[in-house]
Amino acid sequence: MTTAVRPRDRLIAAVVLSAVIGLVGGGLAAWGIYARFGPVERVTQQNIVGGSGGNNGALSVGSIAQSKSVSVVEVLTKPVTPGSLLAGSTGIVDGFAVSANGLVVSSIHAIEGAGTLRIATAEGHSYPATIVRADPTHGVVLLQAVGAQGLTPLTFATVTARVGDLAIAVARAPFSPVTLATGTVSSIGISVSLLDSEPPLRDALTVDATPDPRQDGAPLLDGNGNVIGVVVDAGNSAPGVVALSMTSAANLLAAASGNGGNAAVPTLGVQSQVLDAATAAAAGVPVGALILSVTTGSPGAAAGLLPGDVVTAVGSTALDATHPFDASVLGLAPGEQVTLTVSRNGASKTIQLTVGSA
């Protein structure tokens, strides 16, 4: 007995067959894309509104690196010859232009022990260099490429980085014109000890990317291509890429340019660590900066601060990860008197402190 196939059944069968064919074909296409290019998440891109250079579209890490790498310079800390290049003892570290007339930012660590200083630009020019200003508390130095003109400067971000922000380290290295380290900001406002014999560097941040010693002194950029830190070769003192204080570098530039920056680096004379809410609750203290040590004869010592104190506010500014107990970050000037709110042994008190200079 033959059963007639109704038009409705034919329609359902056609729809099912089309879906199967689409599923198989789509799966094969997806597998081909995966095998060729890997997971989609490997493509790094961030949509930027009002991005660098007026680009309101999507800026990729590659486009940021390409446009900003011209500002990255090589700092020569000793004479370089073809022989030294072949031997791998180059004496070449990184820096980046912050003015058209040759002001360059780098890390103090990068130029430590330099017998001579020269700056070589991406355009193939070389200039003798001098140290203009330095901030040992934050590990940042400002150099002058003598006679340089027409450099392409980078600009500093108008806000500090936050945990989770995109971060891009753009550097130069011998035989490898541009190198990148890309990740997200994993911590901010930390102190980093590069050497046991030296005080920790303040207001550093870390990025969850693989560090490269050749990037010492290079700029760390945000998704708009603006500077959020100065990369330093921190060894194993902290995980990931470590960058020094953007605020300190910007202050050095402002001071050298006569734009209201402090000629002297302000200091409080203490080492501290900001406590987050959970850690503060666990310790039974308020959120603020825990004083770890106080330097003898420093402003902190003169004010009567003690290890174990928790400074919760400077004036009307509450201290937290974005506002650490750091004179430069807080915008304080040498000689300025400020009122500290301090928690000591469960009691709150106010202390007057006069900011010093480093």
Q: What is the pLDDT of residues 264-302, one digit of tens each?
A: 788 999 989 999 899 999 999 999 999 999 999 999 999
Listed residue (224, 108, 55) closest to 155, CA to CA = 224
What is the model's pLDDT at position 29? 43
Mean pLDDT by runs of 10 across the 358 residues of the chain is 50 46 44 37 36 50 91 89 67 94 96 90 93 92 96 95 95 82 93 81 94 93 96 90 95 82 78 92 95 94 96 96 90 94 96 92
Superfamily in which the 266-357 domain is placed by CATH: PDZ domain (2.30.42.10)
**CATH code given to domain 166-247:** 2.40.10.10
pLDDT at 265: 80
pLDDT computed for residue 52 by the predictor: 37
- Digit-coded pLDDT (tens) for 6-44: 555 554 454 444 444 444 444 444 344 333 333 333 333
User: What pLDDT score does 20 carry?
Assistant: 43
For the whole prediction, is pTM greater than 0.75?
A: no
All structural domains of the chain with their residue ranges? 166-247, 266-357
